[in-house]
Amino acid sequence: MKYFVLVGIIGIILAFSSCSHSEAKEYSALKNRLDSLESNAYTPGFGEFMNTIEIHHAKLWFAGTDQNWPLAQYELDEMKETFDDLQKYVKDRPEVKEIPMIDPALKDLGQAIESKDVNRFKPAYTTLTISCNSCHKATNHGFNVITIPTAPPVTDQKFMPAK
């Protein structure tokens, strides 16, 4: 009887130890998988986010001056989202800390769009553009000079409100 109890206890111990052994194996396989996902995942660089922001910035001018307010709002929202993504995904660049300097200009432009007033929109847009350049100067990228666009960035999109 004692013998059976002993065998039973040993069996239970073995079952547990093999279970924790296979768990450890599973854990290390999962960890390897995660490490490989992390090092192979594609994340756009700072400059790529900036290129996206540049396109929204340019489209925003034509949407606003053509008084297509829903499109202007849309472009502004996309630009804000791209700044948020930049903060979220670009971890290795100290310049990310400077992003909040653009917030007052974005807010002001949002109010101009909401008021549907092109005479408020234009100066707010100029202030935004100055803020882009202030950050470029502050981050040693003053050679990247942003201006008010003179031609639409694409020719396959209509900026006037649809009838």
Length of the chain: 163
120 scored as a contact of ligand HEC (CB under 6 A): no
Nearest to 143 by CA among 47, 60, 41, 2: 47
98 touches ligand HEC by CB under 6 A: yes
Please give the Cα distance from 109 to 73 (Å, whole number): 9
- The single residue among 78, 85, 95, 117 that binds ligand HEC, judged by CB under 6 A, is 95
Minimum Å distance from CB 73 to ligand HEC? 16
Please, are residues 87 and 50 in contact by the beta-carbon 8 Å criterion? no
Binding window for ligand HEC (CB under 6 A); candidates: 17-25, 109-117, 135-143, 154-162: 135-143
If one counts every other C-beta atom within 10 angstroms of the C-beta of residue 86, the result is 21
Closest residue by beta carbon to ligand HEC:
47
Among 44, 46, 78, 122, binds ligand HEC (CB under 6 A): 46
Q: CB 37 → ligand HEC: shortest distance, Å?
A: 25
Based on the shown chain and the rule CB under 6 A, indicate whether residue 72 belongs to the binding site for ligand HEC: no
Tokens representing residue 10 in the block:
């040993």
Q: Are the CB atoms for 63 and 33 separated by under 8 Å?
A: no
Binding ligand HEC (rule: CB under 6 A), the pick from 141, 149, 152, 153 is 141
Q: How many residues bind ligand HEC (CB under 6 A)?
A: 21
| Contact call for residue 102 and ligand HEC (CB under 6 A) | yes
Alpha-carbon dihedral angle through residues 84, 110, 129, 95, given to the nearest 10 degrees: -20
Cα 27 to Cα 33: distance, rounded to the nearest angstrom = 10
Q: Is 139 in the site for ligand HEC (CB under 6 A)?
A: yes
User: Distance between CA 133 and CA 138 in Å, rounded?
Assistant: 8
Binding footprint of ligand HEC on the chain (CB under 6 A): 45-47, 50-51, 53-54, 57, 95, 98-99, 101-102, 128, 132, 135-136, 139, 141, 144, 146
